[in-house]
Structure 1
Amino acid sequence: MKKFFPIFLLITLSTWANAQDRVTGFNFATRSEVIAQNGMACTSQPLATQVALDILKSGGNAVDAAIAANATLGLMEPTGSGIGGDIFIIIWDAKSQKLYGLNGSGRSPKSLSLDYLKQNTNGKIPSFGPLPVSVPGCVDGWFTLHERFGKMEMNKILAPAIQYAKNGFPVSELIAYYMNASANRLKKYKGFAETYMPNGKMPQKGEIFKNPYLANTYEKIAKGGRDAFYKGDIAKTIAKYIKEQGGFLSYEDLAAHKSEWVDPISINYRGYEIWELPPNGQGTAALQILNILKYNDISKMGFGSADYIHTFVETKKLAFEDRAKFYGDPDFSDIPIRQLVSNEYAQKRNQLINPNQASKKYDAGELEQGNTIYMTVADKEGNMVSLIQSNYRGMGSGMTPDSLGFVLQDRGELFSLQEGHANVYEPGKRPFHTIIPAFITKAGKPYISFGLMGGSMQPQGHAQIVVNLIDFGMNLQEAGDAPRVRHEGSSQPTGEKMTDGGWLNLESGFSYQEIRALLQKGHRIKYAAGGYGGYQAIMWDEQKGVYFGASESRKDGQSAGY
């Protein structure tokens, strides 16, 4: 049968995407890496980056700076973050010379049952409203991290975000776009327009936006600690609001919440240790992708080649079938992590890939038994923090408790309603999570703290960054700016199955010759301007004694150091 594809692919994907000719540097880099000795911060909003640097310069460490920047992003980038959401962190502690992981995700309401959801939904938990709301874990994550590794007092850490919330800040370009995109969908919910649309509309690029409600909430947290959020007036306000909206999240659910310290998991990729957090997040998928890719000669294939893209996409499909079947809350099911990331299993799965034909479907392996923000900070002592935080689906559920200044997450949407599934809904359970921080070590020493936000793009993006750095020899900036691929349509942790091979999205910058070769292999290709994630990274160069920082051009972000 004759193959064809939309004409817009010819227009948008037929040339390599160089930002401009550069005297130095690499093909895809939009700017030079930032280099500094004493500290580095990379976030998706320049003002938040500056807050982190101010904390470092005034005596705080990387943990203090990361919390300060995250609080600032909750104000300035509510389309991807906020204290109504969850948080995951990997930290390299210079004193113990060890990586630590923190799972700051919240649990489902104890009073909401699977039977109720089955009877009152159309087979899937809704994206918005009260039903997908789970306990927000961010604030407890801050205090749990700070108690173990922090240095500066929390009232000083939160002070910059409080001042910006009171006095206002100019909304940046991409954030303004996403805020306005959320308005029509969420303004019907009580409290949303009052908080984010004080003049009847969302702020535009460059307009000064204030959030006095959030300033007041932050002040209560700064004075009263995490209990002010989970056991005080804030918790009571959240519970009362959700009950009025017909939801189930209660004061007792909030009061019972706590974060969990976890051991990061890793695989060896061509001499480098790639680290992720275990489920209920999807970091294991990034490790599975890389573990299969290492049995292929990726560098010989070449960046942007049809052979590489085909191999990558087929590998992603395999990993995501396991993601759909096995990942969930480890407190409720026995997840075979060791087998999923073993070399033996990776070799077995690699043999399923046909180098000349895209698959329509794969089965998960047989084993024995929404936008987001990512940021990273490093300090002069050598501590490095890899932090990711999210509301899910951009501005979350739309549930905006009275006069608190933030939206509650809709992470519960990702539960399955299929009995027996690893991610099936249960009361007091943590849902499958998309947000994942990452870290790379070499010979037991810190190398790169990095992440890439964006739903199911995250493990795909993590793997592409690692391949760009290690197989294709790109520098830290170019590895993030190089065009990406995103496959959609795999089986999902909510129960949907892939039966048609899904769709391959290609960012502008891939040659027509390679696109045509991919079509001949049976891939269905389309173009999307967005959805390729947002990358930040810090690399430690031990020999030179400096940090390198990178923040990609797809976001409003900035890397800066001193």
Structure 2
Amino acid sequence: MRAGPVVGTRTMVVSPHYLASAAGARMLERGGNAFDAAVAVSAALAVVYPHMTGLGGDAFWLTFVPGEGRVRVYNGSGRSGSRVHRGRYAGMEAIPRRGLGAAITVPGMADSWAAVLAEYGRLPLAEVLEPAIRYAADGFPLSSDQHQGTLLAGGALCPEAAAIYMPGGRIPEPGERFRQKELARSLSAIASGGRDAFYKGEIARSIAEGMSRSGGLLTAEDLADHAGEWTEPVCTDYHGLRVYQAPPNSQGFAALETLNILENFDFRSIGHGTYEYYHLIAEAIKLSFRDRDAYLTDPAFSPVPLERLLDKSYAAGLAAAIMPDRAASLASAPTGRDTAYAAVVDGDGNAVSFIQSLYFEFGSGSAPGGTGILLQNRGSFFSLDPGAANTLEPGKRTFHTLMPAIACRDGRPVYLYGTQGGEGQPQTQTLLLTRMLHYGMDAQQAVAEPRFVWGRTWGEPTEALTVESRVPEEVRLRLAAAGHQVRTVRAYDGLAGHAHAIAIDGEGFRSGGTDPRSDGAAIGW
């Protein structure tokens, strides 16, 4: 394991797969900027981490340009189809988690690539997508993470997808050359035809026809009508930092609410890695999740009262309710975990923090139309309860777990950070930020230290506090004595997610940290 961070004097790329980081670095070497590099990383991840992310999924982007002096958000999440409504699931308690019944939201990723490059990029889309196309066509060494993901979720793949990810009925071994010819053709079509090749051209027609043949609900019109949007972030001030997140339908505000609660405690008197540290953060997370679960959805359909939820006096009241020796009882809703976070900073100070996902491993498990594109199952998170804020309706964005983060000091980014892991994202982000800010850890140490995840499951709601075995036994025993339902997992367990971070110091040096639980790499110079 790397002992310290990679430090660059001008540039830094971090991602959960070394080949994706290399694709981004290649764009910077060719004269591209952080935005060209970020899209190259995103596209490469869609190839080399196909169980985590892909063209059939969504993406959220936080951007910073020194000349603008502000953080912006691109919401690259898709809406439910025009024919999708609760009546389609009559007699069911919930939307199926897999299959075409779960593939009910339009993928937003390809649109987000075009939008980010159109706004800020220097290089043409075809050049930016070249590494991803080559990885797909020529193959790459299959990661142990993909192998494990296929062992876990391969049974959920439809025959068309199984033929790609389990060729000949077997799961490829780590290190085998893995090719995705159909995906290479789709990426090549986008490289030559732009975003419309995906949403209005051959790819859209193939997906729509495949959906129609198999009883899916998305149509060619749904794909053609899709558009992401530039919007303003939500933010809070925390110990001299201004911390930015994507607004609803992202869960990012839950991390901000958590920080507002923690601001009422003195971390100078709380040792890192102690019972007090883990207990306090877990309890603050529970309180913010209670609000998140009550309100988060597409604000175009149901308002999210952010002014109240992010009010400092409201947070102070929540902080006063935390008991130092007793865990509150609150179950978390089940969520997916498989996501890919990455970040890029270039020599001009441009910065991109972004995250993308199919939701569960391999998403819906469906890849209709011979495109090689797995469709996400993000829409399965909609509720069938007509009284719920996140109830299923046509043309609606669902409650979304994706949430990249940027923290600024004096108007400049100092931390870019995020993680894989659905329910774990606000939690791990809080661990990363407090470790770097309060305890002086570098980016690599912050992501490598032991972690916990409260809740998060694909099955029933849970109160479990999943803790890595590297957390000292006496700390775990005290957490259990306080009422936490402690579940111990192995050191560096993938259940803790794949986190990555870039820290920029007063000298302008870019320090990159990638998670030892992933196949990632930090590349900077």
TM category (shorter chain) comes to over 0.9
- 2:71–2:244 contact (8 Å) kept in structure 1: no
Q: Are residues 1:180 and 2:147 paired? A: no
Cα separation, 1, equivalents of 2:99 and 2:144: 27
Which consecutive unaligned segments of at least 5 residues does structure 2 have? none
Give deviations 1:53-108, integer Å, cap 9, x for gaps: 11110011111111111111111100111010000000111221221101000011
- 2:223 corresponds in structure 1 to 254
TM-score (norm 1): 0.89
Q: Which amino acid aligns with 2:345?
A: A
- Structural mapping, 1:25-40, within 5 Å: 30-40=2-12
SS in structure 1 of the partner of residue 63 of structure 2: strand
Aligned residue in 2 for 1:343? 312
Bigger CA radius of gyration: 1
Task: Decide which of 464, 472, 475 is 1:511's aligned counterpart.
Answer: 472
Name 1:159's counterpart in structure 2: 130
Deviates most, 159-168 or 100-109: 159-168
Question: Which one of 518, 533, 540 corresponds to residue 497 of structure 2?
Answer: 533
Flag the 1:42–1:489 CA change in 2: closer, same or farther, 3 A.
closer
Quote the sequence identity (%).
37
Residue 202 of structure 1: CA displacement? Answer: 2.5
Structure 2 residue 186 is the aligned partner of structure 1 residue 217: yes
How far residue 239 of structure 1 moved from its aligned partner, in angstroms, is 1.0
Distance 2:418 2:211 in 1: 33
Indicate the RMSD between aligned Cα atoms, in angstroms.
1.9
Q: Once the 2 structures are TM-superposed, how far is the Cα of residue 453 of structure 1 from its aligned partner? A: 1.1
For the residue of structure 1 that corresponds to 2:368, the secondary structure is coil
Say whether residues 1:549 and 2:518 are aligned partners: no
SS in 1 for 2:453: strand
Is 503-512 or 257-266 further displaced after alignment? Answer: 503-512
Matches within 5 A, 1:245-284: 245-284=214-253
Code of the residue aligned with 2:507 in structure 1: it is K
Tell me the CA shift for residue 120 of structure 1.
4.5
Return the alpha-carbon distance in structure 2 between the equivalents of residues 415 and 497 of structure 1.
Answer: 15
Shift in Å, 1:362? 8.9
Q: Aligned pair 1:81/2:53, yes or no?
A: yes
Counterpart for residue 319 of structure 1: 288
The AA in structure 1 aligned to 2:282 is: V
**SS in structure 1 of the partner of residue 496 of structure 2:** coil
CA distance in 1, matches of 2:363, 2:70: 34
Q: What SS does the corresponding residue of 1:335 show, helix, strand or coil?
A: coil
Q: 3-state SS of the aligned residue for 1:504?
A: strand
Partners of 1:524 and 1:159 in 2: CA distance = 48
Structure 1: distance between partners of 2:454 and 2:134: 42
Aligned partner of 2:18 in structure 1 is: 46
Cα deviation, 1:265-322, whole Å, max 9, x if unaligned, reads 1111111111111111111111111110110123312112112222211111111110
Give the corresponding residue for 1:199: 168
Q: CA deviation at 1:443?
A: 1.4
- Residue aligning to 1:387: 354
Deviations 1:431-480 (A, max 9, x none): 11111100010111111111111110001111111111122221111111
297-306 or 44-53: bigger deviation: 297-306
- Tell me which residue corresponds to 2:384: 417
* Contact 1:400–1:408, Cα closer than 8 Å, also in 2: yes
Measure the CA separation in 2 of the matches of 1:303 and 1:294.
16
**SS in structure 2 at match of 1:402:** helix
Indicate the larger mover: 527-536 or 391-400.
527-536
- Tell whether 2:365 aligns with 1:398: yes
Using the alignment, how far apart are the partners of 2:254 and 2:24 within structure 1? 31
1:429 aligns with 2:390: no
d(CA) in 2 for partners of 1:125 and 1:316?
Answer: 27
Deviation, structure 1 residue 515: 2.0
Secondary structure of the structure 2 residue equivalent to 1:35: strand
CA distance in 2, matches of 1:530, 1:548: 23
In the alignment of these two chains, the number of paired residues is: 518
Using the TM superposition, give the Cα deviation of residue 198 of structure 1 relative to its aligned residue in structure 2, in angstroms: 2.6
- Which residue in the other structure is 2:71 paired with? 99
The equivalent residue for 1:23 is none
> Whole-Å Cα distance in 2 between the matches of residues 71 and 378 of structure 1?
17
Alpha carbons 2:331, 2:461 under 8 Å: kept? no
Deviation at 1:489? 6.5
Q: Which moved more, 1:292-301 or 1:231-240?
A: 292-301
Q: Distance in 2 between matches of 1:237 and 1:402?
A: 5
Distance in 2 separating the partners of 1:519 and 1:392: 31
Note if contact 1:315-1:353 (Cα within 8 Å) is conserved in structure 2: yes
> For the residues of structure 1 that align with 2:191 and 2:278, how far apart are their CA atoms?
48
Matched, 1:129 2:99: yes
Asked if the contact 1:81–1:372 (Cα under 8 Å) also holds between the matched residues in 2, the reply is yes
> Residue 520 of structure 1 corresponds to which residue in structure 2?
481
Q: Tell me if the contact between 2:383 and 2:390 (Cα under 8 Å) persists in the aligned partners.
A: yes
| Separation (CA, whole Å) in 2 of partners of 1:115 and 1:318 | 33
Matched with 1:26 is none
Alignment-derived partner of residue 4 in structure 1: none
Q: Is the 8 A contact 2:74 2:112 kept in 1?
A: yes
Structure 1 gaps, min length 5: 1-18, 20-29, 364-369
Kept in 2: contact 1:318–1:362 (CA 8 A)? no
Which deviates further from its counterpart, 463-472 or 432-441?
463-472
